[in-house]
Structure 1
Amino acid sequence: MTCTETRLSASRILSNREICPGYFRMRIVCDQVYQDAVPGQFVMVRLLGRASPLLRRPFSIHDLIMEGEYVTGFDILYKIIGAGTEALSMSRAGDIVDVLGPLGRGFSTRGDFGRVHMVAGGIGVAPFVFLINHLMRQGLSSSQITLFVGGRSCGDLLCLEIFERLGIQLKLTTDDGSAGSQCVVTQPLGEALRQQKPKMLFACGPMPMLREVMAISKKDGIPCQVSIETMMACGMGACLGCAVEKRDSKEKYLHACMDGPVFEAEKIKI
């Protein structure tokens, strides 16, 4: 599902808080174009008044800030991984950022899912707060949502207090065993599917994790939507830097910024 309008704006930062070492949640004021934003869409953000980095950086819309029925802002969740996010981490409330969005094709949430499983690896948890809130507003019960979250250590398991407050079922894994089960996140997913299959899988995280989720969904015949994490220079399909190979088609490539970042698993190769 794609939003009908995208806008470039100079927007004010409401807050920028470190939620775990190296991970930040930024809240940004927005206008009413975000009223129609959907989970899985993203924004391109750059600090104004700085020569470097020159290009905007892509971030999933983590959640919307609501006042009654109206959207007044949105959150992004990010990890410091380079000069751009390092600069962003030093910004403060009241600073102005250059924002292009909302962009891309988000998760399809039409239909009666009945039960859904979501799989997140590390910072791939970013779009799921928005998605869960959206599904619950559509009438899906928290008891019908299970989120599998994996990370290298307990410090990479993000937003757990939000998910606990929402009342969904949580399954945690870490590589070092510091929280949850010591295994890859797809292991408890496979175990859960042997007990009861959901009507839809949603996934966002590192490519190896997505490949495994896609393989599981194919083997068990479960529809799956994956959100691709990739570098983007423009966010509008001009640079062709975010190509994703298309499966079984004469058109060999899709682009994460325009055709995604959310794709039906059976339509792509990663």
Structure 2
Amino acid sequence: MIFQQKSVVLWNTMECSGYYRLGITCDAGYSAARPGQFVMVRFPGQLSPLLRRPFSIHRLVRTDGRTEGIELLYKVVGRGTEMLSLCRKGDGLDLLGPLGNGFTIPDHPGRIFIVAGGIGVAPMFFLTSVLREQGLDPARAVVFIGGRSKDDLLCMNDFFSVGMQTVHITTDDGSAGEKDRVTGPLERAIREARPDMIYACGPTPMLKATARLAEDYGVPCEISIETLMACGMGACLGCAVRPKKQTGKYLHACLDGPVFDARTLQL
């Protein structure tokens, strides 16, 4: 079920330079939201910016088992997110969601690799939390987080907070962790012990490299793509993505995704 509602800001705190965590109230129906789904946010009563902005759900905010809010992780990249960074506790926002298709959650998670690049870490913590609730053994899970520099590494402690034991860190400039692309240690880990599933979210080049590794080593892989969305509900058709099979029909991130089987897309 999709809800459109007036939401209230619970908190809006800086994670690190240019990155923020935004807590907002939501309908109790969000308890059924799946990792990988997203919401569309706009400023009520304002014509600029005119369009809503899409954000992955980073985590559910629960009190005594009841879902009362969601947390979004975002980066200031333009006018919309700059305005969002100025919101304070008690401010109102217009919320639409949860939208899109999320990650597949196995009944009995096996060996799982979770790959995140930059702000692509946003849906991966929600995913990890749900996998843990589903019985994921932390000893059989590996998290890979990459960024251009140490300033782009996000939420490492979040993964430790849900019991993850192995978190590989890479940066392009070597300012933190290993100086490499995140797919470097990912490939070494695949060679050492092939996982049952790879989940990934991040920039397109990272997703393309991850999908190629998954195909080369015969590992199932789901990716959450990052793309501009105007409506989030398939009306504008502005978030078209090319399928690998030439069917003459494009897929759309807001309806068919944003999570896809990596084998289905032409990245």
CA distance in 2 between counterparts of 1:265 and 1:80 reads: 28
User: Which structure 1 residue ranges, 5 or more long, are not aligned?
Assistant: none
Query: What's the TM-score once normalised by structure 1's chain length?
Result: 0.96
Q: Deviations over 1:188-237 (max 9, x none)?
A: 00011110011000000000000000000000000000001000000000
Using the TM superposition, name which of 140-149 and 182-191 deviates more. 140-149
CA RMSD, Structure 1 to Structure 2 (Å): 1.0
3-state secondary structure, aligned to 1:208:
helix
3-state secondary structure, aligned to 2:36:
coil
Could you tell me which residue of structure 2 aligns to residue 141 of structure 1?
137
Aligned pair count? Answer: 266
CA contact (8 A) 1:232 1:241 kept: yes
CA contact (8 A) 2:60 2:67 kept: yes
Shift of 1:251: 4.7
Could you tell me which residue of structure 1 aligns to residue 250 of structure 2?
253
Could you tell me which residue of structure 2 aligns to residue 87 of structure 1?
83
Matches within 5 A, 1:193-232: 193-232=190-229
Could you tell me which residue of structure 2 aligns to residue 112 of structure 1?
108
CA distance in 1 between counterparts of 2:64 and 2:168 reads: 32
Query: What's the TM-score once normalised by structure 2's chain length?
Result: 0.97
CA distance in 2 between counterparts of 1:73 and 1:182 reads: 37
User: Which structure 2 residue ranges, 5 or more long, are not aligned?
Assistant: none
CA contact (8 A) 1:201 1:225 kept: yes
Shift of 1:145: 1.7
CA distance in 2 between counterparts of 1:247 and 1:213 reads: 16
CA contact (8 A) 1:7 1:102 kept: yes
CA contact (8 A) 2:169 2:177 kept: yes
Q: Deviations over 1:76-116 (max 9, x none)?
A: 00000000000000000000001110000000102333110
Q: Percent identity?
A: 52
> Which residue of 31, 46, 52 maps to 1:35?
31
Matches within 5 A, 1:163-202: 163-168=159-164, 169-202=166-199
Could you tell me which residue of structure 2 aligns to residue 265 of structure 1?
262
CA distance in 2 between counterparts of 1:217 and 1:89 reads: 37
